[in-house]
Amino acid sequence: MNRIKTDLCIIGAGSAGLSLAAGAVQMGATTVLVEGHKMGGDCLNYGCVPSKALLAAGKKAQAMRDAGFGVTGVEPTVDYAAAKDHVAKVIATIAPHDSEERFEGLGVNVIREYGEFISETELRAGDTVIEARRFVIATGSSPFVPPIPGIEGVPHHTNETIFDLREKPEHLIIIGGGPIGMEMAQAHRRLGCKVTVIEGAKALGNDDPELAAVILENIRAEGVEVVEGQQAAKISGAEGAITVETADGTVFTGTHLLMAVGRKPNIDRLKLSAAGVETTRAGVSVGADMRSTNRRIYAIGDVAGGLQFTHVAGYHAGVVIRSILLALPAKARTDHVPWVTYTDPELAQVGLTEAQAREKHGDKLTVVRFDYSGNDRAIATGKTVGLIKVMIVKGKPVGASIVGAEAGELIGIWALAIANGLKMSAIANMIAPYPTLGEVNKRAAGAYFSPKLFDNPWVKRAVRIVQKVLP
Protein backbone atom coordinates (compact mmCIF):
# COMPACT_ATOMS: atom_id res chain seq x y z
CA MET A 1 0.00 0.00 0.00
CA ASN A 2 1.43 3.38 -1.05
CA ARG A 3 1.11 6.36 1.27
CA ILE A 4 1.01 10.04 0.32
CA LYS A 5 1.05 13.11 2.56
CA THR A 6 -0.31 16.29 1.01
CA ASP A 7 -1.66 19.71 1.87
CA LEU A 8 -4.92 19.18 0.00
CA CYS A 9 -6.79 16.15 -1.31
CA ILE A 10 -9.73 16.79 -3.63
CA ILE A 11 -12.20 13.99 -4.32
CA GLY A 12 -13.89 14.43 -7.68
CA ALA A 13 -12.65 15.91 -10.96
CA GLY A 14 -15.78 17.74 -12.01
CA SER A 15 -16.20 21.49 -12.26
CA ALA A 16 -15.72 22.14 -8.55
CA GLY A 17 -12.75 19.84 -8.06
CA LEU A 18 -10.91 20.94 -11.18
CA SER A 19 -11.31 24.63 -10.40
CA LEU A 20 -9.99 24.09 -6.89
CA ALA A 21 -7.11 21.86 -7.97
CA ALA A 22 -5.89 24.31 -10.61
CA GLY A 23 -6.00 27.22 -8.21
CA ALA A 24 -4.48 25.40 -5.24
CA VAL A 25 -1.48 23.89 -7.00
CA GLN A 26 -0.63 27.14 -8.77
CA MET A 27 -0.75 28.96 -5.43
CA GLY A 28 1.81 26.57 -3.97
CA ALA A 29 -0.17 23.86 -2.17
CA THR A 30 0.70 20.20 -2.73
CA THR A 31 -2.48 18.79 -4.24
CA VAL A 32 -3.86 15.32 -4.87
CA LEU A 33 -6.91 14.88 -7.09
CA VAL A 34 -8.85 11.60 -6.86
CA GLU A 35 -11.27 10.62 -9.65
CA GLY A 36 -12.64 7.14 -10.30
CA HIS A 37 -14.70 8.00 -13.38
CA LYS A 38 -14.38 10.61 -16.12
CA MET A 39 -12.33 13.79 -15.88
CA GLY A 40 -14.61 16.79 -16.30
CA GLY A 41 -17.46 15.20 -14.39
CA ASP A 42 -21.12 15.49 -15.25
CA CYS A 43 -20.99 18.94 -16.84
CA LEU A 44 -18.54 18.03 -19.58
CA ASN A 45 -19.64 14.48 -20.25
CA TYR A 46 -23.37 14.30 -19.50
CA GLY A 47 -24.74 17.72 -18.65
CA CYS A 48 -24.13 21.33 -19.65
CA VAL A 49 -21.85 20.73 -22.61
CA PRO A 50 -23.68 17.92 -24.47
CA SER A 51 -27.13 19.34 -23.77
CA LYS A 52 -26.22 22.75 -25.19
CA ALA A 53 -24.61 21.09 -28.21
CA LEU A 54 -27.80 19.10 -28.89
CA LEU A 55 -29.92 22.19 -28.38
CA ALA A 56 -27.75 23.98 -30.95
CA ALA A 57 -28.44 21.21 -33.48
CA GLY A 58 -32.15 21.52 -32.83
CA LYS A 59 -31.98 25.29 -33.19
CA LYS A 60 -30.41 24.94 -36.63
CA ALA A 61 -33.21 22.63 -37.70
CA GLN A 62 -35.87 25.02 -36.38
CA ALA A 63 -34.28 28.00 -38.13
CA MET A 64 -34.86 26.23 -41.45
CA ARG A 65 -38.53 25.68 -40.63
CA ASP A 66 -39.21 29.26 -39.58
CA ALA A 67 -40.36 31.42 -42.45
CA GLY A 68 -40.06 35.19 -42.48
CA PHE A 69 -38.23 38.25 -43.78
CA GLY A 70 -38.86 37.11 -47.34
CA VAL A 71 -37.46 33.65 -46.75
CA THR A 72 -39.59 30.54 -47.19
CA GLY A 73 -39.28 27.91 -44.52
CA VAL A 74 -38.47 24.32 -45.45
CA GLU A 75 -38.54 21.06 -43.52
CA PRO A 76 -34.90 20.11 -42.86
CA THR A 77 -33.39 16.69 -43.33
CA VAL A 78 -32.20 15.67 -39.89
CA ASP A 79 -29.44 13.13 -39.41
CA TYR A 80 -29.85 12.30 -35.73
CA ALA A 81 -26.62 10.32 -35.56
CA ALA A 82 -24.71 13.23 -37.10
CA ALA A 83 -26.24 15.54 -34.48
CA LYS A 84 -24.84 13.20 -31.84
CA ASP A 85 -21.49 13.33 -33.65
CA HIS A 86 -21.60 17.09 -33.15
CA VAL A 87 -22.23 16.53 -29.43
CA ALA A 88 -19.27 14.14 -29.20
CA LYS A 89 -17.02 16.57 -31.10
CA VAL A 90 -17.86 19.40 -28.73
CA ILE A 91 -17.05 17.23 -25.72
CA ALA A 92 -13.79 16.09 -27.32
CA THR A 93 -12.79 19.69 -28.08
CA ILE A 94 -13.25 20.81 -24.48
CA ALA A 95 -11.95 17.61 -22.84
CA PRO A 96 -8.21 18.47 -23.03
CA HIS A 97 -8.81 21.44 -20.76
CA ASP A 98 -10.13 19.03 -18.10
CA SER A 99 -7.72 16.21 -18.84
CA GLU A 100 -5.47 14.28 -16.49
CA GLU A 101 -2.49 15.32 -18.62
CA ARG A 102 -3.20 19.02 -18.19
CA PHE A 103 -3.57 18.78 -14.44
CA GLU A 104 -0.52 16.59 -14.05
CA GLY A 105 1.30 19.25 -16.06
CA LEU A 106 0.19 21.87 -13.56
CA GLY A 107 1.67 19.78 -10.78
CA VAL A 108 -1.43 18.02 -9.46
CA ASN A 109 -1.03 14.37 -8.45
CA VAL A 110 -4.02 12.77 -10.20
CA ILE A 111 -5.13 9.34 -8.96
CA ARG A 112 -7.70 7.62 -11.19
CA GLU A 113 -9.47 5.59 -8.52
CA TYR A 114 -12.58 5.95 -6.38
CA GLY A 115 -11.85 7.12 -2.86
CA GLU A 116 -13.17 6.08 0.54
CA PHE A 117 -12.36 7.48 3.96
CA ILE A 118 -10.66 5.16 6.41
CA SER A 119 -10.21 7.73 9.18
CA GLU A 120 -10.78 11.42 9.86
CA THR A 121 -7.49 12.26 8.15
CA GLU A 122 -7.01 9.46 5.60
CA LEU A 123 -8.55 8.46 2.29
CA ARG A 124 -7.88 5.21 0.44
CA ALA A 125 -7.94 5.30 -3.38
CA GLY A 126 -7.03 1.97 -4.95
CA ASP A 127 -3.68 0.89 -3.50
CA THR A 128 -2.88 4.39 -2.19
CA VAL A 129 -3.64 5.96 1.17
CA ILE A 130 -3.69 9.76 1.16
CA GLU A 131 -3.16 11.66 4.40
CA ALA A 132 -4.08 15.31 3.93
CA ARG A 133 -4.21 18.46 6.03
CA ARG A 134 -7.51 19.29 4.30
CA PHE A 135 -9.92 17.27 2.17
CA VAL A 136 -12.53 18.66 -0.21
CA ILE A 137 -15.41 16.47 -1.36
CA ALA A 138 -16.41 17.49 -4.88
CA THR A 139 -18.06 14.31 -6.13
CA GLY A 140 -21.11 16.00 -7.64
CA SER A 141 -24.47 14.38 -8.24
CA SER A 142 -26.10 11.76 -10.45
CA PRO A 143 -29.55 11.43 -12.00
CA PHE A 144 -32.19 10.21 -9.58
CA VAL A 145 -34.48 7.48 -10.88
CA PRO A 146 -37.51 7.16 -8.59
CA PRO A 147 -38.79 3.68 -7.71
CA ILE A 148 -41.80 3.81 -10.00
CA PRO A 149 -43.34 0.32 -10.21
CA GLY A 150 -42.01 -1.48 -13.29
CA ILE A 151 -39.08 0.87 -13.97
CA GLU A 152 -36.47 -1.74 -13.08
CA GLY A 153 -37.57 -3.98 -15.98
CA VAL A 154 -37.98 -1.30 -18.65
CA PRO A 155 -35.09 0.21 -20.64
CA HIS A 156 -34.79 3.90 -19.87
CA HIS A 157 -32.36 6.74 -20.32
CA THR A 158 -31.01 9.46 -18.05
CA ASN A 159 -28.78 12.39 -18.96
CA GLU A 160 -25.86 9.95 -18.57
CA THR A 161 -27.00 7.77 -21.48
CA ILE A 162 -29.27 9.84 -23.75
CA PHE A 163 -26.35 11.50 -25.54
CA ASP A 164 -24.95 8.12 -26.59
CA LEU A 165 -28.22 7.19 -28.32
CA ARG A 166 -27.59 7.06 -32.08
CA GLU A 167 -30.99 6.04 -33.39
CA LYS A 168 -33.57 8.82 -33.42
CA PRO A 169 -36.45 8.07 -31.06
CA GLU A 170 -39.78 7.95 -32.85
CA HIS A 171 -41.60 9.00 -29.69
CA LEU A 172 -39.64 10.08 -26.61
CA ILE A 173 -41.48 10.12 -23.29
CA ILE A 174 -39.82 12.32 -20.68
CA ILE A 175 -40.74 12.01 -17.02
CA GLY A 176 -39.93 15.33 -15.37
CA GLY A 177 -40.72 18.85 -16.51
CA GLY A 178 -37.81 20.71 -14.97
CA PRO A 179 -35.04 22.46 -16.92
CA ILE A 180 -33.38 19.22 -18.10
CA GLY A 181 -36.68 17.71 -19.18
CA MET A 182 -37.83 20.79 -21.06
CA GLU A 183 -34.48 21.37 -22.77
CA MET A 184 -34.33 17.78 -23.98
CA ALA A 185 -37.98 17.89 -25.01
CA GLN A 186 -37.46 20.89 -27.28
CA ALA A 187 -34.17 19.62 -28.68
CA HIS A 188 -35.63 16.24 -29.62
CA ARG A 189 -38.83 17.70 -31.03
CA ARG A 190 -36.84 20.02 -33.28
CA LEU A 191 -34.75 17.07 -34.43
CA GLY A 192 -37.89 15.31 -35.61
CA CYS A 193 -39.05 13.21 -32.64
CA LYS A 194 -42.53 13.09 -31.20
CA VAL A 195 -42.18 14.11 -27.53
CA THR A 196 -44.39 13.81 -24.46
CA VAL A 197 -43.41 15.33 -21.12
CA ILE A 198 -45.11 14.05 -17.96
CA GLU A 199 -44.74 16.28 -14.90
CA GLY A 200 -46.26 15.48 -11.51
CA ALA A 201 -46.64 19.14 -10.50
CA LYS A 202 -45.98 22.24 -12.66
CA ALA A 203 -43.46 22.25 -15.50
CA LEU A 204 -40.62 24.67 -14.72
CA GLY A 205 -42.22 24.98 -11.31
CA ASN A 206 -39.20 26.57 -9.62
CA ASP A 207 -39.29 29.60 -11.91
CA ASP A 208 -41.55 32.64 -12.12
CA PRO A 209 -44.87 31.21 -13.40
CA GLU A 210 -45.48 34.15 -15.73
CA LEU A 211 -42.15 33.64 -17.45
CA ALA A 212 -42.40 29.84 -17.41
CA ALA A 213 -45.74 30.15 -19.22
CA VAL A 214 -43.99 31.86 -22.14
CA ILE A 215 -41.60 28.90 -22.49
CA LEU A 216 -44.36 26.32 -22.22
CA GLU A 217 -46.56 28.06 -24.76
CA ASN A 218 -43.74 28.08 -27.30
CA ILE A 219 -42.73 24.47 -26.66
CA ARG A 220 -46.32 23.30 -26.97
CA ALA A 221 -46.70 25.32 -30.18
CA GLU A 222 -43.74 23.41 -31.61
CA GLY A 223 -45.62 20.16 -30.98
CA VAL A 224 -44.39 18.90 -27.60
CA GLU A 225 -47.13 17.40 -25.45
CA VAL A 226 -46.64 18.71 -21.91
CA VAL A 227 -48.80 16.97 -19.30
CA GLU A 228 -48.84 18.64 -15.90
CA GLY A 229 -50.22 17.51 -12.56
CA GLN A 230 -50.01 13.80 -13.36
CA GLN A 231 -47.66 11.52 -11.46
CA ALA A 232 -46.19 8.51 -13.23
CA ALA A 233 -47.54 5.50 -11.33
CA LYS A 234 -46.57 2.48 -13.46
CA ILE A 235 -44.13 1.77 -16.28
CA SER A 236 -44.19 -1.29 -18.52
CA GLY A 237 -43.15 -2.59 -21.95
CA ALA A 238 -39.88 -2.91 -23.79
CA GLU A 239 -37.71 -0.73 -25.99
CA GLY A 240 -39.80 0.45 -28.90
CA ALA A 241 -43.06 0.07 -26.99
CA ILE A 242 -42.90 1.66 -23.54
CA THR A 243 -46.05 2.51 -21.60
CA VAL A 244 -46.33 5.02 -18.77
CA GLU A 245 -49.53 5.02 -16.74
CA THR A 246 -50.27 7.99 -14.51
CA ALA A 247 -52.06 7.96 -11.16
CA ASP A 248 -55.40 8.84 -12.75
CA GLY A 249 -55.19 5.93 -15.19
CA THR A 250 -54.10 7.88 -18.27
CA VAL A 251 -51.80 5.82 -20.50
CA PHE A 252 -48.96 7.18 -22.66
CA THR A 253 -47.05 4.98 -25.08
CA GLY A 254 -43.74 5.78 -26.75
CA THR A 255 -40.60 4.18 -28.11
CA HIS A 256 -38.05 5.60 -25.65
CA LEU A 257 -38.11 6.83 -22.05
CA LEU A 258 -35.99 9.57 -20.46
CA MET A 259 -36.01 10.04 -16.68
CA ALA A 260 -35.39 13.69 -15.73
CA VAL A 261 -36.85 14.03 -12.24
CA GLY A 262 -33.91 15.31 -10.24
CA ARG A 263 -30.47 14.54 -8.87
CA LYS A 264 -28.92 12.67 -5.94
CA PRO A 265 -25.56 13.39 -4.27
CA ASN A 266 -22.63 11.08 -5.03
CA ILE A 267 -21.72 10.08 -1.47
CA ASP A 268 -22.39 6.34 -1.28
CA ARG A 269 -18.82 5.21 -2.04
CA LEU A 270 -17.10 7.63 0.33
CA LYS A 271 -17.77 5.92 3.69
CA LEU A 272 -18.16 9.33 5.27
CA SER A 273 -19.06 7.91 8.67
CA ALA A 274 -15.44 6.80 9.03
CA ALA A 275 -14.42 10.44 8.74
CA GLY A 276 -17.07 11.80 11.09
CA VAL A 277 -18.88 13.61 8.27
CA GLU A 278 -22.64 13.99 8.65
CA THR A 279 -24.95 13.86 5.64
CA THR A 280 -28.59 14.40 4.68
CA ARG A 281 -30.61 13.23 1.70
CA ALA A 282 -29.41 16.36 -0.09
CA GLY A 283 -25.71 15.67 0.46
CA VAL A 284 -22.92 16.56 2.86
CA SER A 285 -23.99 18.81 5.73
CA VAL A 286 -21.98 22.02 5.48
CA GLY A 287 -22.07 25.51 6.89
CA ALA A 288 -21.77 28.74 4.96
CA ASP A 289 -18.00 28.22 4.98
CA MET A 290 -18.56 24.88 3.16
CA ARG A 291 -17.02 22.96 6.08
CA SER A 292 -18.51 19.64 7.13
CA THR A 293 -18.89 18.30 10.67
CA ASN A 294 -15.23 17.29 10.36
CA ARG A 295 -13.42 20.63 10.32
CA ARG A 296 -10.69 19.21 8.08
CA ILE A 297 -13.18 18.25 5.39
CA TYR A 298 -15.11 20.58 3.08
CA ALA A 299 -17.76 19.85 0.47
CA ILE A 300 -18.42 21.95 -2.62
CA GLY A 301 -20.61 21.84 -5.70
CA ASP A 302 -23.67 19.60 -6.07
CA VAL A 303 -22.61 17.25 -3.28
CA ALA A 304 -22.93 20.11 -0.77
CA GLY A 305 -26.70 19.94 -1.16
CA GLY A 306 -27.41 23.45 -2.41
CA LEU A 307 -27.89 24.97 -5.86
CA GLN A 308 -26.80 22.49 -8.54
CA PHE A 309 -25.10 24.52 -11.23
CA THR A 310 -21.63 24.34 -12.72
CA HIS A 311 -20.97 28.00 -12.04
CA VAL A 312 -21.93 27.52 -8.39
CA ALA A 313 -19.40 24.68 -8.16
CA GLY A 314 -16.71 27.01 -9.48
CA TYR A 315 -17.81 29.71 -7.06
CA HIS A 316 -17.59 27.29 -4.14
CA ALA A 317 -14.03 26.47 -5.17
CA GLY A 318 -13.13 30.14 -4.90
CA VAL A 319 -14.71 30.35 -1.45
CA VAL A 320 -12.85 27.41 0.08
CA ILE A 321 -9.51 28.21 -1.52
CA ARG A 322 -9.36 31.41 0.53
CA SER A 323 -10.03 29.48 3.70
CA ILE A 324 -7.78 26.48 3.01
CA LEU A 325 -4.76 28.21 1.52
CA LEU A 326 -4.82 31.67 3.04
CA ALA A 327 -6.66 31.06 6.34
CA LEU A 328 -9.04 33.89 5.48
CA PRO A 329 -12.68 33.82 6.55
CA ALA A 330 -14.91 33.06 3.58
CA LYS A 331 -18.57 32.19 3.29
CA ALA A 332 -20.73 31.26 0.32
CA ARG A 333 -23.89 33.19 -0.47
CA THR A 334 -26.71 32.43 -2.86
CA ASP A 335 -28.55 35.70 -3.40
CA HIS A 336 -26.37 36.65 -6.38
CA VAL A 337 -26.35 33.27 -8.16
CA PRO A 338 -27.93 33.34 -11.65
CA TRP A 339 -29.32 30.35 -13.52
CA VAL A 340 -30.62 29.77 -17.02
CA THR A 341 -32.89 27.29 -18.76
CA TYR A 342 -31.61 27.12 -22.34
CA THR A 343 -34.88 26.53 -24.12
CA ASP A 344 -35.93 28.81 -26.96
CA PRO A 345 -36.70 31.40 -25.73
CA GLU A 346 -34.35 31.24 -22.77
CA LEU A 347 -35.37 31.78 -19.16
CA ALA A 348 -32.94 33.38 -16.72
CA GLN A 349 -33.15 34.26 -13.05
CA VAL A 350 -30.95 35.83 -10.39
CA GLY A 351 -31.91 36.60 -6.83
CA LEU A 352 -35.54 36.62 -5.76
CA THR A 353 -38.50 35.95 -8.03
CA GLU A 354 -41.44 38.33 -7.81
CA ALA A 355 -43.36 35.99 -5.50
CA GLN A 356 -40.36 35.49 -3.24
CA ALA A 357 -39.64 39.21 -3.12
CA ARG A 358 -43.25 40.07 -2.27
CA GLU A 359 -43.25 37.53 0.55
CA LYS A 360 -39.96 38.81 1.96
CA HIS A 361 -40.26 42.57 1.43
CA GLY A 362 -44.00 43.29 1.19
CA ASP A 363 -44.83 46.95 0.57
CA LYS A 364 -41.17 47.90 0.33
CA LEU A 365 -40.95 46.12 -3.02
CA THR A 366 -41.13 47.79 -6.42
CA VAL A 367 -41.40 45.62 -9.55
CA VAL A 368 -40.57 47.10 -12.95
CA ARG A 369 -41.12 45.46 -16.31
CA PHE A 370 -40.16 45.90 -19.91
CA ASP A 371 -41.32 43.84 -22.87
CA TYR A 372 -39.05 42.69 -25.68
CA SER A 373 -41.67 44.03 -28.09
CA GLY A 374 -40.44 47.53 -27.24
CA ASN A 375 -36.83 46.76 -28.15
CA ASP A 376 -35.76 47.77 -31.66
CA ARG A 377 -33.25 44.94 -32.09
CA ALA A 378 -35.88 42.39 -31.08
CA ILE A 379 -38.27 43.90 -33.61
CA ALA A 380 -35.66 43.80 -36.36
CA THR A 381 -34.82 40.14 -35.71
CA GLY A 382 -38.35 38.93 -35.00
CA LYS A 383 -37.54 38.01 -31.39
CA THR A 384 -40.22 40.10 -29.71
CA VAL A 385 -41.60 37.38 -27.41
CA GLY A 386 -40.20 38.02 -23.96
CA LEU A 387 -40.02 40.32 -20.97
CA ILE A 388 -37.87 41.34 -18.04
CA LYS A 389 -38.99 41.89 -14.47
CA VAL A 390 -36.72 43.49 -11.88
CA MET A 391 -37.51 43.39 -8.17
CA ILE A 392 -36.23 46.48 -6.32
CA VAL A 393 -36.02 47.40 -2.63
CA LYS A 394 -34.73 50.81 -1.52
CA GLY A 395 -33.28 51.53 -4.93
CA LYS A 396 -31.36 48.26 -5.22
CA PRO A 397 -32.28 45.20 -7.29
CA VAL A 398 -32.91 42.08 -5.21
CA GLY A 399 -33.91 39.89 -8.14
CA ALA A 400 -34.33 39.84 -11.90
CA SER A 401 -36.27 37.48 -14.15
CA ILE A 402 -35.90 37.43 -17.93
CA VAL A 403 -37.56 35.31 -20.59
CA GLY A 404 -36.66 35.88 -24.22
CA ALA A 405 -33.84 35.75 -26.72
CA GLU A 406 -30.36 35.72 -25.10
CA ALA A 407 -31.83 35.92 -21.61
CA GLY A 408 -28.82 34.01 -20.31
CA GLU A 409 -26.51 36.74 -21.58
CA LEU A 410 -28.69 39.60 -20.34
CA ILE A 411 -28.98 38.30 -16.77
CA GLY A 412 -25.27 38.86 -16.16
CA ILE A 413 -25.60 42.58 -15.53
CA TRP A 414 -28.17 41.96 -12.79
CA ALA A 415 -25.96 39.29 -11.21
CA LEU A 416 -23.17 41.90 -11.19
CA ALA A 417 -25.44 44.50 -9.60
CA ILE A 418 -26.74 42.20 -6.87
CA ALA A 419 -23.30 40.75 -6.11
CA ASN A 420 -21.85 44.22 -5.58
CA GLY A 421 -24.82 45.98 -4.01
CA LEU A 422 -25.22 48.39 -6.92
CA LYS A 423 -28.20 50.70 -7.17
CA MET A 424 -30.57 50.95 -10.11
CA SER A 425 -28.88 54.22 -10.99
CA ALA A 426 -25.78 52.24 -12.00
CA ILE A 427 -27.79 50.44 -14.67
CA ALA A 428 -29.60 53.60 -15.73
CA ASN A 429 -26.28 55.44 -16.12
CA MET A 430 -24.92 52.75 -18.44
CA ILE A 431 -24.91 53.53 -22.15
CA ALA A 432 -26.03 50.47 -24.10
CA PRO A 433 -25.06 50.32 -27.78
CA TYR A 434 -27.95 50.70 -30.20
CA PRO A 435 -29.59 48.55 -31.39
CA THR A 436 -28.93 45.66 -29.01
CA LEU A 437 -31.00 43.41 -26.80
CA GLY A 438 -28.89 44.82 -23.96
CA GLU A 439 -31.08 47.91 -24.08
CA VAL A 440 -33.77 45.78 -22.43
CA ASN A 441 -31.83 46.06 -19.17
CA LYS A 442 -31.41 49.81 -19.44
CA ARG A 443 -35.08 50.29 -20.30
CA ALA A 444 -36.04 48.27 -17.22
CA ALA A 445 -33.93 50.64 -15.13
CA GLY A 446 -35.58 53.55 -16.90
CA ALA A 447 -38.99 52.14 -15.99
CA TYR A 448 -37.98 52.45 -12.35
CA PHE A 449 -36.95 56.09 -12.57
CA SER A 450 -39.54 57.37 -15.06
CA PRO A 451 -42.41 57.72 -12.56
CA LYS A 452 -40.10 59.58 -10.18
CA LEU A 453 -39.29 62.10 -12.92
CA PHE A 454 -42.34 62.34 -15.15
CA ASP A 455 -45.18 61.75 -12.67
CA ASN A 456 -43.80 63.89 -9.86
CA PRO A 457 -45.54 67.29 -9.52
CA TRP A 458 -42.57 68.70 -7.59
CA VAL A 459 -40.26 67.99 -10.52
CA LYS A 460 -42.64 69.74 -12.90
CA ARG A 461 -42.94 72.71 -10.56
CA ALA A 462 -39.15 72.96 -10.26
CA VAL A 463 -38.76 72.86 -14.04
CA ARG A 464 -41.30 75.66 -14.48
CA ILE A 465 -39.51 77.81 -11.90
CA VAL A 466 -36.13 77.26 -13.55
CA GLN A 467 -37.54 78.10 -16.97
CA LYS A 468 -38.92 81.39 -15.63
CA VAL A 469 -35.68 82.53 -14.00
CA LEU A 470 -33.30 81.47 -16.79
CA PRO A 471 -32.20 84.40 -18.96
Write out the binding residues for FAD.
52, 115, 139-141, 302
Annotate the chain with three-state secondary structure.
Answer: CEEEEEEEEEECCCHHHHHHHHHHHHCCCCEEEECCCCCCHHHHHCCHHHHHHHHHHHHHHHHHHCCECCECCCCCCCCHHHHHHHHHHHHHHHHHHHCHHHHHHHCCEEECCCEEECCCCEEEECCEEEEEEEEEECCCEEECCCCCCCHHHCCCECCCCHHHCCCCCCEEEEECCCHHHHHHHHHHHHCCCEEEEEECCCCCCCCCHHHHHHHHHHHHHCCCEEEECCCEEEEEEECCEEEEEECCCCEEEECEEEECCCEEECCHHHCHHHHCCCEECCEECCCCCCECCCCCEEECHHHHCCCCCHHHHHHHHHHHHHHHHHCCCCCCCCCCCEEEECCCCEEEEEECCHHHHHHHHHHHEEEEEEEHHHCHHHHHHCCCCCEEEEEEECCEEEEEEEEECCHHHHCHHHHHHHHCCCCHHHHHHCCCCCCCCCHHHHHHHHHHHHHHHHCCHHHHHHHHHHHHHCC
Write out the binding residues for NAD(+).
176-183, 199, 262
Write out the binding residues.
52, 115, 139-141, 176-183, 199, 262, 302
